[in-house]
Amino acid sequence: MIKLFYVTDIHGSNVCYRKFLNALPIYGVDVAVLNGDLLGKVLIPMVEKPGGGWECHLMGMYTEMNTEQELADVKKIIENAGYYWVHQTREEFEATKADPKQIDKLFKHAAYERIQEWLELADERLEGKSHQMYICPGNDDWWEVDDMISCMKVIKPCDNLVVDIDGHEMVSCSRSNPTPWDTPREESEEELAVHLDELCKRVTNYESAIFNFHVPPHGYSLDLCPKLDKDMKMSAEEKIHAGSQGAKMVIEKYQPLLGLHGHIHESRGAQKAGRTLMINPGSEYSEGILKGVIIMLDKKKVKDYVFTQG
């Protein structure tokens, strides 16, 4: 039997990533899988004030920092929420506001820097240890992230691959069906269905296989999220299914032992599709809460699973 720890959608949160690494020896897991989205979504300028100190707008509030300690404290809040920061003079800030290309450049620099720090930290922590760690990006992650993962010594990439986990073939996919946010790895339902089917055909034993898809299958309890109105505001009462028809098709067709999914943060849970146990651990990364699931796998069945939070 092996113990697998699965986490998804940490979106740049430093504290969640470090909790993930710290959990491996605490839970005594054999294999850890981090399934995108890895990147954060917000860059916050820390602007120098006349006469000293800094200022910024954080979570809709104006914030002043007058000492190095106050600056460090706010940076930690930013990093733990999954945001990025950049130091700027007032002149640099005003010039950047008028230049979308410069904003994009600063954002990407900060995002790549954090991903590289994460990867190097994992390599350092796991070298010589028995834990195996796989990373698959998600639909929010730029394609360059794959190249960064593939350059590491200990961490193993798994996107678009079939990897062996103690006799279980795990096939992974970072892509998603279309979303309202036009993210980097979206495909039409038709394209995604073809891609997933071709990927799953490479598996030789579905009875013990793991389908690690960032997007959950459509129409199950794992893909329910609030409906958005025309102004992209979430409904407090109405929910819709936002998962993939392609993912639904291949899971129901091939009936793997286990389906691992994320993408829809609000739909933490487990559900059966025929013989397949599907799990979405959910995400509360912006609160600094790491949600995950520990799964005990025998050769041909899931012995047990436990949701984790902390």
What does each of the 310 residues of the chain score in pLDDT, given as a tens digit? 999 999 999 999 999 999 999 999 999 999 999 998 999 999 999 999 999 999 999 998 999 999 999 999 999 999 999 999 999 999 999 999 989 999 999 999 999 999 999 999 999 999 999 999 999 999 999 999 999 999 999 999 999 999 999 999 999 999 999 999 999 999 999 999 999 999 999 999 999 999 999 999 999 999 999 999 888 899 988 999 999 999 999 999 999 999 999 999 999 999 999 999 999 999 999 999 999 999 999 988 999 999 999 9
Sheet holding 258-260, edge to edge: 162-165, 168-173, 210-213, 258-260, 276-280, 269-273
The pLDDT, as a whole number, for residue 110 is 98
Geometric angle at alpha carbon 66, from 97 and 79, rounded to 5°: 60
Distances (CA, A) of 187 to 48, 156, 171, 179, 249: 42, 25, 18, 9, 15
Q: How many beta carbons lie within 10 A of that of residue 30, not counting itself?
A: 18
Nearest to 206 by CA among 277, 159, 257, 251: 257
* CA–CA separation, 17 and 117 (whole Å): 11
Beta strands in the chain (DSSP E): 2-8, 31-35, 43-48, 54-58, 61-65, 84-88, 132-136, 156-157, 162-165, 168-173, 210-213, 224-228, 234-241, 258-260, 269-273, 276-280, 291-297, 302-309
The pLDDT, as a whole number, for residue 249 is 98
The pLDDT, as a whole number, for residue 237 is 84
**pLDDT per position as a tens digit, 62-84:** 999 999 999 999 999 999 999 99
Six-digit token string for 20: 């993930």
Cα dihedral 257→261→265→267 (10° resolution) = -30
Dihedral pair phi/psi, residue 188, rounded to 5°: -65, 160
Domains of the chain with CATH codes: 2-40+134-309 (3.60.21.10)
Longest dimension (CA), the chain: 67
Taking the model in full, what pTM does it have? 0.96
